[in-house]
């Protein structure tokens, strides 16, 4: 019995004590200046829309699962990030590569109008 308790006590205790001496794994996101979460380059973040490349085929409007893309005047589209799932289907289907999902993930706003990408 003592050996069984010893094994577990030893394991957990060793882990606990080594954690005290080591560095915490918390990422001090924004509480330490300049510290941010590392994201890989293909992270699906905020949408970048190149208006000039867009030809107004409206394929993205048809395929968006949540209806976040609406057609606006001049045969262009507008994206509403409040409904966007960041699935990337619009970027995949655009024949002119006018839509791109950037690795930026920090897009917060005080007004809903700020969440619109035109």
Least gap, CB of 24 to other proteins (angstroms): 5
The DSSP call for residue 21 is: H
Structure tokens at 100: 């791109």
Q: List the interface residues with other proteins, window 60-89 (CB under 8 A).
A: 62-66, 85-89
Please give the angle made by the CA atoms of 32, 36 and 41, to the nearest 5 degrees.
170
Please report, as residue ranges, which positions from 23 to 62 form the binding site for other proteins (by CB under 8 A).
Answer: 24-26, 28, 39-40, 42-44, 59, 62
| Sole window of 11-19, 48-56, 74-82, 109-117 interacting with other proteins (rule: CB under 8 A) | 11-19
Q: Is residue 12 a contact point for other proteins (CB under 8 A)?
A: yes
Position 107 contacts other proteins (CB under 8 A): no
HSE of 118 in the Cβ direction (CA atoms, 13 Å)? 8
CA distances from 49 to 8, 58, 117 (A): 56, 13, 7
Residue 79: DSSP 8-state:
E
Q: Which residues bind other proteins (CB under 8 A)?
A: 1, 4-5, 7-9, 11-13, 15-17, 19-20, 22, 24-26, 28, 39-40, 42-44, 59, 62-66, 85-89, 92-93, 101
């Amino acid at each position: 019995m003592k050996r069984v308790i010893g094994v577990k006590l030893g394991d957990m205790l060793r882990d606990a004590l080594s954690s005290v001496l080591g560095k915490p794994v918390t990422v001090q996101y924004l509480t330490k200046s300049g510290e941010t979460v590392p994201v890989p380059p293909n992270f699906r973040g905020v949408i970048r829309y190149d208006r000039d490349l867009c030809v107004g085929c409206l394929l993205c409007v048809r395929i968006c699962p949540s209806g976040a893309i609406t057609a606006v005047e001049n045969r262009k589209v507008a994206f509403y990030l409040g409904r966007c799932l960041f699935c990337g289907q619009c970027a995949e289907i655009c024949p002119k590569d006018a839509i791109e999902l950037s690795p930026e993930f920090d897009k917060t706003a005080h007004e809903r109008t700020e969440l619109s990408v035109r």
